[in-house]
Amino acid sequence: MSNRIAVVPGSFDPPTLGHLDIIRRAAGLYDELHVLVVHNPDKEGMLPSALRLRLLEQSIEEAGIKGKVIVGVWTVGLLVDYAQQVGAGVLIKGIRSQLDVSYETPMAVVNNHLTGVETVFLLANPANSVVSSSLVRQVAGLGGDVSPYVPPAVVRYLEQSTPSDF
Ligand code: PNS
């Protein structure tokens, strides 16, 4: 496992500007960054995984994010299994508030016990501190404008979908 290879996991349902900011900054810190759409058993999804992956790929490309960024999907097994498979020694989590720290800390401890992988918390840009995929789903589902919170590729996708899809 290399500490120069990192994974940014998430539901990305849909990707937000907060996610993109974390991805951009993490891509600048590591030699290789895996952005991984992970099935979260605690959350009922809005978008199919393949669509989340496509929106992430488009958003990363359109944002001109530099560095070696690989986008993937992980639906079966532990997140740490993926990390081991690609030789990543680091997981990256974006932190907006104390709530995120409370949610992420047990997972970071367990993941470290499982394989020794380290978790690095990157503090979200304060401009993104209220941005979440669940908020975007709710606003979009009620017909509101989510363009301040999501990348253009997601805006385009949501515009050609009907609100009842979310
Ligand atoms: O965007 P989200 O929903 O906050 O992302 C949460 C996610 C997918 C990163 C989290 O649920 C996760 O790490 N899942 C991996 C499942 C796993 O390996 N669990 C056991 C150890 S914690």
Q: pLDDT band at residue 40, thresholds of 50, 70 and 90?
A: confident
Domain count, the chain: 1
> Which of 40, 46, 103 is the best mutation target for the ligand 1 pocket, counting ligand atoms within 8 Å of the beta carbon and taking the most?
40
Q: Is the pLDDT of residue 67 over 80?
A: yes
The amino acid at residue 114 is: L
Helices and strands (H and E) in the chain: how many: 6, 5
132: domain CATH number is 3.40.50.620
Burial class (CB in 10 A: 0-12, 13-18, 19+), 145: exposed
> Is 27 in a helix, a strand, or coil?
helix
DSSP 125: P
34 is catalytic: no
Q: In terms of residue numbers, what domain contains 126?
A: 2-165
**What's the CA angle centered on 100, arms 97 and 101, to 5 degrees?**
90
Q: Work out the pLDDT band at 165, boundaries 50, 70, 90.
A: low
- The mean predicted confidence, pLDDT, of the chain is 95
Mean pLDDT confidence for 63-72:
96
Does any ligand 1 atom lie closer than 6 A to the CB of residue 107? yes
Q: Which of 34, 52, 133, 137 is catalytic?
A: 133
43 is catalytic: yes
Q: What is the dihedral of CA 58, 61, 64, 70, to 10 degrees?
A: 120
Task: With CA atoms as reference, report the closest residue to 56 among 87, 88, 29, 17.
Answer: 17
pLDDT one-digit tens code per residue, 109-163:
999 999 999 999 999 999 999 999 999 999 999 999 999 999 999 999 998 886 5
